[in-house]
Amino acid sequence: MKLLDFILLMAAPLLGGFAAMLFKTKNREHYKLVLSFSGAFLFSITLIHLFPVVFANSHYAGIYVLAGFFIQIFLEQLTHGIEHGHFHDHRENNTYVFALLLGLTLHSFLDGIPLSSHEMLDDDHHSLLYGISIHKIPEGFALVSVLIFSNYKKLTVLTMLLLFSLVAPLAVLFANQLSMANTELFSILVAMAVGSFLHVSTTILFESESGQHLFGWKKITAILLGAGIALLTI
């Protein structure tokens, strides 16, 4: 990855976090639309670009993808699904905030693994970078919203947001070293990251505001736009 790629990956959650500070409102319709767009884009990029690569490099890729899928389910026990739009008011609940930070950190670390500059993923690098970066915007928004609702001081919120924004870039650096030292383990982690992407993106796509499996035209438009732009990367 180039320096500008690292800056983009780091700037995305910062943008979402600053937006949460500026627009302290309970109306999260725009947040949900960004989430739907990013979910559709990430889901499409995963199927179009990552699936063929992952399954071409390992006979056991399906097992690792499945493991990543279930690891994300475990992480949601910590985050309560905040990475795909679930907000919960746990005011002044430090245990919840710590669990949230741990879960989002692990999730973000998995996000960064496939962004390694390894030759296995080089051709699809920028499409995936854009998909993950867009997804990081609502994650940053969600994190800061919870911290604000939990009455944390602004300096503490900014520090946590900054540290969170560093996780995915650091994961990329780690993956770069791992891909050179142990290609097989690197391939396993990429497959697990793909499983995590599948869980998060499909949960975003198939959930609805009403809980009655009905989608508004705005969400459908956001989903189709995300998938359509992903198709342009072929």
pLDDT of residue 125: 65
Question: Poorest-confidence range of 25-29, 108-112, 189-193?
Answer: 25-29
Q: How far apart are CA 37 and CA 43, in angstroms?
A: 10
Q: How far apart are CA 193 and CA 65, in angstroms?
A: 7
pLDDT of residue 212: 47
Residue 58 has φ and ψ, to the nearest 5°, of: -160, 135
| % of the chain beyond a pLDDT of 70 | 84
The DSSP string of 112-167 is: HGGGS--TTTGGGHHHHHHHHHHHHHHHHHHHHHHHHHTT--HHHHHHHHHHHHHH
pLDDT of residue 156: 92
Q: Is the pLDDT of residue 158 over 90?
A: yes
Q: How confident is the model at residue 207 (pLDDT cuts 50, 70, 90)?
A: low
Q: Return all residues near 24 (Cβ < 8 A) that are at least 6 apart.
A: 148
Residue 123 has φ and ψ, to the nearest 5°, of: -65, -25
pLDDT of residue 168: 94
Q: What angle do CA 221, 191, 55 make, to 5 degrees?
A: 90
Question: Poorest-confidence range of 53-67, 102-116, 148-162, 205-219?
Answer: 205-219
pLDDT of residue 10: 95
Looking at the structure of the chain, the number of domains it has is: 1
Q: How confident is the model at residue 131 (pLDDT cuts 50, 70, 90)?
A: confident
Residue 70 structural domain: 3-231
Over residues 132-144, the pLDDT tens digits come to 898 888 888 888 8
pLDDT of residue 141: 87
Q: Return all residues near 85 (Cβ < 8 A) that are at least 6 apart.
A: 28, 31, 32, 35, 138, 142, 204, 207
Question: Poorest-confidence range of 8-17, 167-176, 210-219?
Answer: 210-219
Interval 192-211 mean pLDDT: 79
